[in-house]
Structure 1
Amino acid sequence: MAVDVARWVPGVTAVRSYRVAWLPRDLMAGIVLTTLLVPQGMAYAELAGLPPITGLYTSMVCLLAYAVFGPSRVLVLGPDSSLGPMIATVLVGAVGATALPAEKVGLAATLSLMVGVMLLVAGFAKLGFLADLLSHPTQVGYLNGLALTILIGQLPKLFGFSAGGDGLLGETAELMRGIAAGKVVPTAVAVGVFGLVVMLVLGRLAPRVPGVLLAVVLSTLAVPLLDLGVRVVGTLPQGLPTPELPSAGLDDLAVLAAGAIGITVVSLTDTISTASAFAARTGREVRGNQEMVGIGAANVAASFFQGFPVSTSGSRTAVAQQAGARTQLTGVVGAVAIGLLLLIAPGLLKNLPQPTLAAVVIAAAISLADLPAMASLWRRRKVEFWLAVAAFLGVAVLGVLPGMAIAVALSVLNVFRRVWWPYQAVLGRADGVDGFHDTRTYPDAAHLPGLVLFRFDAPLVFANVRVFRDRLREFARTEPGLRWIVIAAEPITDVDTTAADVLEELDRELNDAGISLVFAEMKTPVHEKVDRYQLTRVIDPAHFFPTIDDAVAAYRRETGTTWTQPS
């Protein structure tokens, strides 16, 4: 039992192995981290359509839970800019945009519980591969679309007025109407733009300086000193959150469950990628399944304290690491600091301007966007560039959750496309190069009359075996005096039962035309399947060769042909 506890509750091991020498750095990193946790937690709560205080509750509880169940020493969890719009979309879909805050908080807590349970199940069932459902191109497109959606959604708050609108197009139209109607508040724009400039400039020129903290402090002090007259956060509720059971009506569960699936995939992908990046820096290995358990536990814990779904944060983790964090005690210090703020000084941030919170979110949105990656995809592979564009348009035009579904579907379809229509090559012998090579690359490569060397770069399965069959039939029709078709089978990693049936029929058809179907370099596990399917009772067992050279030598012995240059 002790071994199981140490495995699934890494916090126990962390306490046992903790060194006193780490304490000063963890304490300092925790204090520095708090300066980022508070404004971002409040801003991302509003991004999710929830009261700012819920962002602090969520940050505090999820940090404590991850310190117990999370395997990473430095990973920081909390409200996330990429999840905020998804949460808001789910809540609007369930109860509408005009629902009371308390009703939204209850639904968000239920959503967090669902996400947490899904992640726990994925972790215990070792389903970390689900993170691969989002390929890099579709992830780039999705995040760019998300960045644009967040930017447009926050601009009205930055400009000092409120705007509705459904989706990116509707929000853009409402933004334009508000500007045209003269609703823009110059003071709000000045405060918001000032905060945004401070964060972006310091983030680029002096990344160690907490630009978010500086922007928040200066703008909060400026409101009463200069009598700016902009919307502010107001005094936060005093005290710590009390445990409450998540509540949702039966009619809302279907909407919440659908949203929870999308949020789980994004959270899982973020967690694995962020954990991998920071583990590589420290020379540690990623425990993907335990990471899912850790973040799942954090979501479940947050759900009982008026919280909403959380994920890992690359920016906050980087801040903690730069500040010298050694263990998860850094996150615990951050959680305790937030608790002390709520107990002792809930009015400390009462003058924090709403445009500054909007600037915090916009700065995060800008960090999500990756235009150089789009340009790189265009240069490297046009197909994947258009996949990224499709994912971008899905998020921008249809909304965050449909865009998420489109991104996952496109990733899966792209894999299926590569299996369905894999690269195919006719091979020949090129002068001055060992082995056999693609005649597209070496058009002057020599061939043996009556022999086709063919490579099919995919497993033979139900989805592509007819493509394979049709190509061999084409050889039989067009190649004069064809006697052997040698399949360079090294890239064929599998043969399913549908493909086996088609191969049996194809071999009989080719034999009737006086053509032999021959395999070279077939992997042992694949060859064992061919034997199990009893294909060797149709395909001559002597027509399986360990190498292409062996197959070519056997053909030359049988026919006496010599290498010929293409005409």
Structure 2
Amino acid sequence: MNSDVTDEAGTKEMDTSMCMSPSQDHNPENLPYVHKVGVPRRQNLLKQFTATVNETFFVGNPFRPFKGQSRLGKFVLALQAVFPIVSWGKDYNLARFKGDLIAGLTIASLCIPQDIGYAKLANLPPQNGLYSSFVPPLIYAFMGSSRDIAIGPVAVVSLLLGSLLQNEIDPVKDTLEYRRLAFTATFFAGITQFTLGFFRLGFLIDFLSHAAIVGFMGGAAITIALQQLKGLLGISNFTRKTDIVSVMRSVWGTIHHGWNWQTMAIGISFLAFLLLAKHIGKKNKKLFWVPAIAPVVCVILSTFLVYITHADKHGVQIVRHIKKGINPPSFKEIYFTGKYFGKGFRIGVLSGMIGLTEAIAIGRTFAAVKDYHLDGNKEMVALGTMNVAGSMTSCYVATGSFSRSAVNFMAGCNTAMSNIVMSCVVFFTLEFMTSLFKYTPNAILASIIISAVVGLIDVEAVSLLWKIDKFDFVACMGAFFGVIFVSVEIGLLIAVSISFAKILLQVTRPRTALLGNLPGTAVYRNILQYPEAKKVPGILIVRVDSAIYFSNSNYIKERILRWLTDEEEQLKKKGLPAIQYLVVEMSPITDIDTSGIHAFEELYRSLQKRDVQLLLANPGPVVVNKLHASKIATLIGESKIFLSVADAVRYVPKTEEP
């Protein structure tokens, strides 16, 4: 038997000596031969299982480079696998360092004011934000495989962490316990990320669809911006809830006695400056440094302004105190037992997954631009390790920042050394410059955060979702409205639920199509897509566009029978010959399980009662093996399984059209 596969147009020629000539009964047009489907040889069960595991978890054989290597060679390869810095560090030179130095200094000027603001978003002291841009980036620089990603706290994870933590512990009344729970959540976020990477389970994060992420990020951006109205307007008593109704009620309810005009003047004027700087950076890519240094310029100018005018004595809220010194140890503060252990675990898993999704998406984006390979599993191990270490050094969840990574990329970074440079600047700030932030107004931090999250609202992506896939648009809007009208965690739950619902819908209700012949060819295509395609008299040709499993086998059988019933009713009305043959085009069916086999048996018996013969066309190697193993090929008849729809049609005696 010939195991080659050709398309229906016959674009690939076959050696006629390899084909079997059917009898005249099965060759009414007296053609020289009809192609017969080849049955691949059965593979060893262990080899099949090993191949499946490698493809699912390892995408090939990860141990291949170690073959034939000496012990020293294997050690070096293992070291490079765990610490990519060993690999690129061998060829590192001064020219590369110049690019990394400029990029590192640039992202440091952006990260310092952002870190202070994001820490407030997570209801943590400002120094914890700076801590999270010192230790985690250092560890990532040694273990990460991305050259462009910039590590540190990010707005969405900070908001998610803050909203989940404050549901358990009041950050104002019980500050110490709140910080301990934050470190516990960070520890388990790291454990989650490390576990996914170590066991090569990174494909799990792909279950969160792009549409759901766009909606979630957009909703989170609006929620974050609304939360900053407290600092921007100088409101003292502000709601702890994150939904838009509660926030706006809190804002408008304090308009006569809670707003501070000096704070508003500072916040709104500098916000306008930041947005203008961002606009300049977008218009001219060479001026990327303008929006990068704008936040630190705002901090310096506003701090100086508050200091010389004593605005803090007129109701302008300021940072006041940032603890001096680098990260103190916090291992003993992590909950490993007690009632907060489970809560920290749950919050950590959610925060870790969101942080992971954001970091991998950012890393893949820039890797594609520079055309290098990004190992997703290595990234997860690196992110997990840095967050576990961070939880023990007073950090909260850190991940890849889109705004900083974009600046890092445009500043000309060459390697992860830019993260080390940034960490050194943060170290210098923690040791010598924290006192300079004493008079920094909270309004400036609010302005910096608002300007940073504006980019998370991707209107173009939403518009594209509407044009391409309405279900994706619904998923996006569901996540978006869930975040802004209920809470961040509910929005996340809706995003995940809709993503899974889409998968289930596609699996349980796959598409099917009626095929017709394109005149003058041996090609059969969807009659809805190609109106010129004509149905073959006496034959109904159906294509199933999915693997057939227990979840959809019954639906597919019933859908095919409905196609047949509808077609017979139309033919009866027109007085045309009835359907005598049903051809199922099986090329899109990549796999079939026991339920699918039973569905075909039931379909065969139902067709027998209608005096309709079942013909199968172009089953793949996995499917044809299972058809023979289950004896259904014998039941239907091996002579009724064809290489193409054209062969199946040639098998059928011609029916004259009236």
Give the aligned CA root-mean-square deviation in angstroms.
1.9
Q: 1:459 aligns with which of 510, 533, 547?
A: 547
- The reply on whether 1:560 has 2:636 as its aligned counterpart is no
Q: 1:172 aligns with which of 237, 248, 272?
A: 248
Distance in 1 of aligned mates of 2:172 and 2:631:
66
Cα 1:397/1:258, change in 2 over 3 Å? farther
Query: Conserved in 2, the CA contact under 8 Å of 1:476 and 1:510?
Result: no
Provide the secondary structure at the position in 2 that maps to 1:27: helix
Residues 158-197 of structure 1 mapped to structure 2, 5 A cutoff? 158-162=232-236, 163-168=238-243, 169-179=245-255, 181-197=256-272
Provide the secondary structure at the position in 2 that maps to 1:82: helix
Letter in 1 for 2:299: V
Q: 1:524 aligns with which of 608, 621, 640?
A: 621
Deviates more, 1:271-280 or 1:20-29: 20-29
Query: Conserved in 2, the CA contact under 8 Å of 1:6 and 1:12?
Result: yes
Deviations along 1:27-78, one digit per CA (max 9) or x if unpaired, are: 2322222111111111111111111110001110111110111112232110
The residue that corresponds to 2:587 in the other structure is 490
- The reply on whether 1:203 has 2:278 as its aligned counterpart is yes
The residue that corresponds to 2:329 in the other structure is 243
Distance in 2 of aligned mates of 1:135 and 1:257:
24
Query: Conserved in 2, the CA contact under 8 Å of 1:235 and 1:348?
Result: no
- The reply on whether 1:350 has 2:432 as its aligned counterpart is no
The residue that corresponds to 1:436 in the other structure is 524
Distance in 2 of aligned mates of 1:385 and 1:346:
46
Q: 2:632 aligns with which of 509, 529, 535?
A: 535
The residue that corresponds to 2:92 in the other structure is 18
Letter in 2 for 1:253: F
Provide the secondary structure at the position in 1 that maps to 2:434: coil
Residues 62-141 of structure 1 mapped to structure 2, 5 A cutoff? 62-141=136-215
- The reply on whether 1:296 has 2:371 as its aligned counterpart is no
Query: Conserved in 2, the CA contact under 8 Å of 1:134 and 1:408?
Result: yes
Task: State which structure, 1 or 2, has the greater radius of gyration over its C-alpha atoms.
Answer: 2
Q: 1:218 aligns with which of 283, 301, 310?
A: 301
Q: Under a length normalisation based on structure 2, what TM-score does the superposition of the two structures give?
A: 0.82
Distance in 2 of aligned mates of 1:392 and 1:434:
48
Report the CA distance between 1:250 and its aligned residue: 2.1
Report the CA distance between 1:520 and its aligned residue: 0.7
Distance in 1 of aligned mates of 2:193 and 2:229:
33
Q: 2:428 aligns with which of 340, 353, 357?
A: 340
Distance in 2 of aligned mates of 1:24 and 1:449:
73
Q: 2:608 aligns with which of 501, 511, 523?
A: 511
Query: Conserved in 2, the CA contact under 8 Å of 1:195 and 1:216?
Result: no
Distance in 2 of aligned mates of 1:547 and 1:64:
58
Deviations along 1:469-501, one digit per CA (max 9) or x if unpaired, are: 112222443415222110111111111111111
The residue that corresponds to 2:26 in the other structure is none
The residue that corresponds to 1:546 in the other structure is 643
Distance in 1 of aligned mates of 2:424 and 2:322:
17
- The reply on whether 1:500 has 2:597 as its aligned counterpart is yes
Letter in 2 for 1:228: A
Q: How many residues get paired?
A: 560
Deviations along 1:393-438, one digit per CA (max 9) or x if unpaired, are: 2222231122112211211211221222222211112447762222
Letter in 2 for 1:191: I
Deviates more, 1:518-527 or 1:166-175: 166-175
Letter in 1 for 2:334: S
Report the CA distance between 1:97 and its aligned residue: 4.9
Deviations along 1:502-553, one digit per CA (max 9) or x if unpaired, are: 2112212222322122111211122112222332232222111111110111
Distance in 2 of aligned mates of 1:308 and 1:155:
24
Q: 2:222 aligns with which of 128, 132, 148?
A: 148
Cα 1:527/1:65, change in 2 over 3 Å? same
Provide the secondary structure at the position in 2 that maps to 1:95: coil
- The reply on whether 1:364 has 2:452 as its aligned counterpart is yes
Deviates more, 1:98-107 or 1:356-365: 98-107
Q: Percent identity?
A: 29
Cα 1:178/1:475, change in 2 over 3 Å? same
Distance in 2 of aligned mates of 1:7 and 1:314:
26
Distance in 1 of aligned mates of 2:423 and 2:564:
72
Report the CA distance between 1:165 and its aligned residue: 3.9
Distance in 2 of aligned mates of 1:462 and 1:398:
37
Q: Under a length normalisation based on structure 1, what TM-score does the superposition of the two structures give?
A: 0.94
Distance in 2 of aligned mates of 1:79 and 1:432:
63
The residue that corresponds to 1:413 in the other structure is 501
Query: Conserved in 2, the CA contact under 8 Å of 1:76 and 1:316?
Result: yes
- The reply on whether 1:29 has 2:103 as its aligned counterpart is yes
Query: Conserved in 2, the CA contact under 8 Å of 1:130 and 1:265?
Result: no
The residue that corresponds to 1:373 in the other structure is 461
- The reply on whether 1:253 has 2:329 as its aligned counterpart is no
- The reply on whether 1:446 has 2:540 as its aligned counterpart is no
Cα 1:515/1:393, change in 2 over 3 Å? same
The residue that corresponds to 2:354 in the other structure is 266
Provide the secondary structure at the position in 2 that maps to 1:366: helix
Q: Which runs of 5+ in 1 are unaligned?
A: none
Letter in 2 for 1:541: E
Q: Which runs of 5+ in 2 are unaligned?
A: 1-74, 282-287, 573-577
Report the CA distance between 1:382 and its aligned residue: 2.0
The residue that corresponds to 1:228 in the other structure is 311
Query: Conserved in 2, the CA contact under 8 Å of 1:10 and 1:70?
Result: yes
